[in-house]
């Protein structure tokens, strides 16, 4: 990511592309910042995140169109719910053994 390149980008230099292997923003942007050697508040990071948002929105529309046309099929493995976080299994990559406890909804 990102795939989308605007016609008139705010940042004129080519931005590196990375793969986060995670649906979580903080992992994605953290890996990108390390690869690009850019800080959190840099114009490049801001532009990159805008492009990723556009890429994800575009792909969502593609998937919704497939679903509407009855052509959608799941891609990948549905993880076990036994770990507590349905789609995330690489927390130790960044957190080591100090993995934060996920928030739970308050019981009424």
Residue range 8-43, pLDDT digits in tens: 888 988 889 998 888 788 889 999 999 999 999 999
Q: What is the pTM of this model?
A: 0.69
Q: Is the pLDDT of residue 99 over 90?
A: no
Per-residue pLDDT tens over the stretch 34-88: 999 999 999 999 999 999 999 999 999 999 999 999 999 887 666 555 555 555 6
Cβ contact 43:50 at 8 Å: no
């Amino acid at each position: 990511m990102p795939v989308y390149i605007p016609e008139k980008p705010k940042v004129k230099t080519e931005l590196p592309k990375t793969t986060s292997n995670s649906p979580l923003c903080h992992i994605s942007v953290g890996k990108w910042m390390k690869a690009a050697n850019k800080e959190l508040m840099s114009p490049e990071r801001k532009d990159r995140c805008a492009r990723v948002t556009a890429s994800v929105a575009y792909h969502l529309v593609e998937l919704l169109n497939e679903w509407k046309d009855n052509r959608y099929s799941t891609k990948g493995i549905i993880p076990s719910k036994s770990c507590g976080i349905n789609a995330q299994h690489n927390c130790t990559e960044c957190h080591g053994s100090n993995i934060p406890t996920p928030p739970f909804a308050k019981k009424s």
